[in-house]
Structure 1
């Protein structure tokens, strides 16, 4: 299998906000051989990178690990012996593509808060520009989970003639108000860190505590209540566990719990590899996304797309619920698109699309090969619009 990992300069790029940077750089990876009609674009989630599979990882890189290695590769669901797979780190991130920590070529200093606000539409147009540079005029499929699934939807909306199949996984046409609220709190954790300094912190101490708290809040959003209870319960952490944050005086009397230790440990690792400004930029892009923007409805936004669609959701996901995915599938049905909504019975939570490859791989593989008639693809249409057995109501995570 041929693997390339590159960074390409695409010249001046105008963002949706109207601002322009003189040179947009995009980090990307490709896997397999391009044969003219076999290109599959994989869109990463919020803090993902172009390193979608282990075959393409830089040996000396501290960037995100191969985040979908169980799905992408030779003989896997997105088979790189059959498909030419492309994954692009989105603008605004910190894994090789232009973003707040990147040097402004006009000053030599990091852009910081001077980097233009980014949107999912900007990600899509940047990917289209890169594909033009690579000589890929048409995509066999676009696949992505979470906000990467929003990126998938934007491809169907903005470039309906350039893609045959779409697979939005654990995604929706927009975030609901509860997720918007939690993302807002996460951003406030960063911007109230004394080291944030209005986003100009690159020459000094970084707002690591604020970013760590933001990540912990996000991490909780990705679990279901039952999966957290099963994994952590009320257990105290081991004696070797070290607290990552200062403890209040009364806290010394009470146990440092296993769930706290887990979140603290993962947050401390996250701040070593991610940029606080990028976290602000990318969550803003996700929160701002509305599939129907500029159109009368979601169906109207997708009306020009005449390919096939596989929508996937997970029963324990309260970040993007099965009801939201069913609403998306309904919008596609209104346009007479061949669509299946495949509901995976899982109580893991939002991150199930990353950690349960045995549930995700077969329907994706069959859909790419055979469309919605694939043996592993099921269409679950009886998803209630209110509380149901499929997806717990959002307050289930916080109820007593």
Structure 2
């Protein structure tokens, strides 16, 4: 297992927007030994990093442990004793790869909003360039959760001959209007913070209040109603609890400071200490922009060249990327006569389930990586009645 982040200088990189930077820097971590045909690429989620596994503290991201520590490692679902695992931080992020907070070599100052707009396609292309740098050709598998699942799907479209198996987890072919609207509100919270100053805040006060609000909204998107009720209910945090993120209005002392409010304040306070506001703007726009069928007549047309195997995984309590949305991607694979299964996991944890329920995610993922769709823990909603899903889980937010 690796215990340090590595940095690759990949030279000039032209983004899909047409703009370029002279030297794309990609932070990445590798695990296991490369044997030529055993590479598994793991794509991280929106505010994730290359630190997918390993028990050391990552000082760049302030992660005491890795974000998928229970899934990636020796003897785990993505077994680093057998596979060579690569996880790369995406362009536009702030965890080591080139992004708005990086130095612009032409000015010696951070790029800020002069950094080129990024897309999910740029993420995929940068990963392909990194893998070329590492001497990796065809991938055994690409795995990703949330917007990382969109990244995984893009591999099947953009480099169909370079991937043997693709596993998009808790993802969709595109965001729906509800999620697009919430992302727009989150960005507005940042850009209306007086400290944002058009993105030129480096060296001065950062737009922490705006970023904190954006993060709070994100947390509300990632949790399900049932999990929030179970975790917080209407409980009060107590009269001595401190409102950490924002000052209260004068009348607030009359009312309880509730557990859910305290949780959101704490999470947002920790987040602004480690993440860049401009990166949040860039990455949410990339996610919003992604459309599997872009440039093609349909989702099925986009996937037609992919001849490998695909495993879609979704969670019944996830209203951010719903079971129904994942099923539509599976249907697109089926329309091409592709080898695909859609494995639905019963969970009331919301979108975070792919991170917090490794016991349910690990077995089908491990079987798929090892044995493809023949894996014994894999079920398909179209062939196994025991894994039928109830559309009620998705109806409120997917229409």
Q: Which range, TM-score by smaller chain?
A: over 0.9
Q: Which residue of the partner structure matches residue 170 of structure 1?
A: 170
**3-state DSSP class of the match of 1:350?**
helix
CA distances 1:5-53 after superposition (whole Å, capped 9, x unpaired): 3011111100000000111100000000000000000000000000001
For 2:117, the equivalent position in structure 1 comes to 117
Structure 1 match to 2:372: 371
Over 6 Å off, 4+ runs: 382-385
Q: Secondary structure at the match of 2:268?
A: helix
Structure 1 gaps, min length 5: none
Correspondence 1:254 to 2:255: yes
Equivalent position SS for 1:155: helix
The aligned counterpart of 1:194 is 194
Paired residue for 1:204? 204
Pairs within 5 Å for 1:133-144: 133-144=133-144
- In the TM superposition, residue 73 of structure 1 has moved relative to its aligned partner by 0.2
Structure 1 range deviating more: 251-260 or 69-78: 251-260
Quote the Cα distance in structure 2 between the aligned partners of 1:203 and 1:259: 33
Report what 1:274 is aligned to.
275
- 2: CA distance, partners of 1:366 / 1:353: 16
The alpha carbon displacement at 1:338 in A equals: 1.0
1:90–1:204 distance in 2 versus 1, CA, 3 Å: same
Q: Which runs of 5+ in 2 are unaligned?
A: none
Distance 2:198 2:29 in 1: 33
1 CA distance for matches of 2:238 and 2:377?
42
Per mean C-alpha deviation after superposition, the further-off stretch among 230-239 and 150-159 is 230-239
Taking the aligned partners of 2:32 and 2:174, their CA distance within structure 1 comes to 33
Distance 1:44 1:50 in 2: 7
Deviation digits for residues 358-391 of structure 1, max 9, x if unmatched?
Answer: 0000000011111112111111137999x72444
User: 1:354 corresponds to which residue?
Assistant: 355
What displacement does 1:245 show?
0.8
In the alignment, is residue 75 of structure 1 matched against residue 75 of structure 2?
A: yes
| Whole-angstrom distance in 1 between the partners of 2:276 and 2:373 | 40
The TM-score with structure 1 as length reference comes to 0.95
User: Aligned to 2:372, what secondary structure does the other structure show?
Assistant: helix
1:158 and 1:359 map into 2 onto residues whose CA distance is 30
Superposition map of 1:87-126 within 5 A: 87-126=87-126
Q: Whole-Å Cα distance in 1 between the matches of residues 207 and 398 of structure 2?
A: 30
Structure 2 distance, partners of 1:354, 1:238, is: 30
**TM-score normalized with structure 2 length:** 0.96
Taking the aligned partners of 1:144 and 1:10, their CA distance within structure 2 comes to 23
C-alpha separation in 2, matches of 1:131 and 1:77: 22
User: Whole-Å Cα distance in 2 between the matches of residues 100 and 379 of structure 1?
Assistant: 42
Give per-residue Cα distances to partners, 1:154-205, cap 9 Å, x unaligned. Answer: 0000000000000000001000000000000000000000000000000210
1:40-79 matched pairs, under 5 angstroms:
40-55=40-55, 57=56, 60-64=59-63, 65-79=65-79
- Structure 1 residue 107: deviation in Å? 1.2
Task: Please report the RMSD computed on the Cα atoms of aligned residues, expressed in angstroms.
Answer: 1.7
Report deviation, 1:61. Answer: 3.9
Q: What are the superposed Cα offsets for residues 48-90 of structure 1, whole Å, 9 maximum, x if unpaired?
A: 00000125x4564444441000000000000000000000000
- For the 8 Å contact 2:50–2:87, the answer to whether it is kept is yes
Aligned residues: 394
Q: Is the 8 A contact 2:141 2:166 kept in 1?
A: yes
Contact 2:120 2:290 (C-alpha < 8 Å) held by counterparts: yes
In 1, the alpha carbon distance for the partners of 2:281 and 2:343 equals 32
Comparing 90-99 with 59-68, greater Cα deviation is found at 59-68
Summarize deviations over 1:250-307 as a string: whole Å, max 9, x none. 2221111100000000000000000000000000000000000000000000000000
SS of match in other structure, 2:131: helix
